[in-house]
Amino acid sequence: MEKREELYRGKAKSVYTTDDQDRLILLFRDDTSAFDGRKTSQLNRKGMVNNKFNAFIMQKLEDAGIPTQHDRVIASNESLVKRLNMVPVECVVRNISAGSICRRLGVEEGKDLNPPTFEFFLKNDELHDPMINEYHIASFGWAEPTHVEKMKELTFKVNDILKALFLQGNMLLVDYKLEFGLYKGQVILGDEFTPDGCRLWDKDTREKLDKDRFRQDLGDVVESYEMVGQRLGVSFD
Ligand code: UDP
């Protein structure tokens, strides 16, 4: 597989074209950012840890019947993925209140949400990813209604699979963000699933084990991501 030019550089990953028009390379960098890029840092080994963590989770999801863009790991911080036409919408499920929902609705952190909530956000850095609903997606043509239904169905299915997986490692899946794209007309899970895009708490102590460690200056960010992976059986050698 030949790596060609950089197609896109995000805040923590870079995307490269390859000699196969149906495949891209995702490069997980050591960069980390929060608060719309206002807080940034380089964290040693983060790219490698997130690449291997993501591959492990995507494989678990594939095994459980979720179609994902992941193909295979090709280097410690690089994976080959299917080239998707991304839908510019983020899907967020919350099992426990934390983060923006607390600020937006004035609720305390740590409340069990039963049933879990579902939110859409528009991917737009300049507008700070505003919350939108299905009518906005349809009216502005960001995705077909049947595709939006599929995204919701898959996002909730991921919740069942991953809540159970993290529970096996004595962790609570508090919330997470997914992104989808189209591949040959099918809705496929894209982007990544790592502690950068979800919240995970230790079940007994409720210690934060995800990117809130970076957002809130709690320290040991990469060490914590690695520990989460190890509790699930991810190998970082
Ligand atoms: N999230 C993300 N990317 C974003 C926004 C949110 O990965 O651009 C994740 C975030 O890590 C958390 C969940 O989505 O696990 C819900 O985020 P929230 O709306 O609470 O926003 P935040 O508090 O992260 O600003």
Q: Are 27 and 47 in contact, with CB atoms under 8 Å apart?
A: yes
Tokens of 39: 């807080």
Q: Whose CA is nearest to atom 3 of ligand 1?
A: 197
Q: Are 124 and 132 in contact, with CB atoms under 8 Å apart?
A: no
Identity of the residue numbered 38:
R
1 pLDDT higher than 90: no
pTM metric for this prediction? 0.98
197 CA from centroid of ligand 1 (Å): 6
32 pLDDT higher than 90: yes
> With a 6 A CB cut-off, is 179 part of the ligand 1 pocket?
no
138 CA from centroid of ligand 1 (Å): 23
User: What does the alpha-carbon distance between residue 80 and residue 23 come to, in Å, rounded to a whole number?
Assistant: 7
The distance from CA 86 to its chain's CA centroid, rounded to whole angstroms, is: 14
Q: What local confidence, expressed as pLDDT, does residue 156 receive?
A: 98
Q: Which of 177, 196, 214 has most ligand 1 atoms within 8 Å of CB, for mutation?
A: 177
Sheet holding 78-82, edge to edge: 3-9, 13-18, 23-28, 78-82, 70-75
Tokens of 27: 């490069």
> Using H for helix, E for strand and C for coil, what is the string for 46-106?
HHHHHHHHHHHHHHHHHHCCCCECEEEEEECCEEEEECCEEEEEEEEEEEECCCHHHHHHC
Residues with Cβ within 8 Å of residue 91, at least 6 apart in sequence: 118, 119, 120, 151, 152, 155, 177, 178, 179, 180
In the chain, what percentage of residues exceed pLDDT 90?
A: 99
Count Cβ atoms within 10 A of the Cβ of residue 75 and give its class: 0-12 exposed, 13-18 middle, 19 or more buried. Answer: middle
pLDDT in tens, 39-96: 999 999 999 999 999 999 999 999 999 999 999 999 999 999 999 999 999 999 999 9
Q: Whose CA is nearest to atom 11 of ligand 1?
A: 197
4 CA from centroid of ligand 1 (Å): 31
> With a 6 A CB cut-off, is 129 part of the ligand 1 pocket?
yes
Identity of the residue numbered 87:
V
Between the CA of residue 2 and those of 21, 75, 210, what are the distances in Å? 11, 13, 33
pLDDT in tens, 115-142: 999 999 999 999 999 999 999 999 999 9
What atom of ligand 1 comes closest to residue 174's alpha carbon? 15
- Which residue, 69, 25, 23, is CA-closest to 180? 69
